[in-house]
Amino acid sequence: MSRIPNSLLRHRITIEPYRGDSSTGPLYGPPQRVRAFVDEQTRAVVSPGGETVTSSSTAYCAPGTTAPPLSRVTLPSGRETKVIAALPRDGGGLPTPDHVEIQLQ
């Protein structure tokens, strides 16, 4: 397995994993600060529910990074956003950088 090089993970983001809803609103787990490469670019993506939605940015993180849909993410700019989907990208033994692609609202 070839991991995405740490030298490319130039940004820091904070992920608060979505844990469900309560009578007062969404519940989040403890914040986790992770290294990432953040690409702020608008594009259409498909949500886990099969709907086409607009993603305003994408964070590329090391393999094993966990970010369930609807998790709250704080970007380096301070902007808070929510996870649409977190997709493991594994080259299957090919010399490509394995990583997790986190699509953000």
Q: Looking at residue 37, what is its pLDDT? A: 96
Q: Looking at residue 45, what is its pLDDT? A: 85
Average pLDDT for residues 50-55, to the nearest whole number?
Answer: 86
Tokens representing 7? 């030298």
Does 13 or 41 have the greater pLDDT score?
13
Average pLDDT for residues 39-57, to the nearest whole number?
Answer: 86
- Residues 34 and 14: their CA atoms lie apart, in Å, by 6
Tokens representing 101? 């692609």
* Residues 53-95: tens digit of each pLDDT: 888 899 999 999 999 999 999 999 999 999 999 999 988 888 8
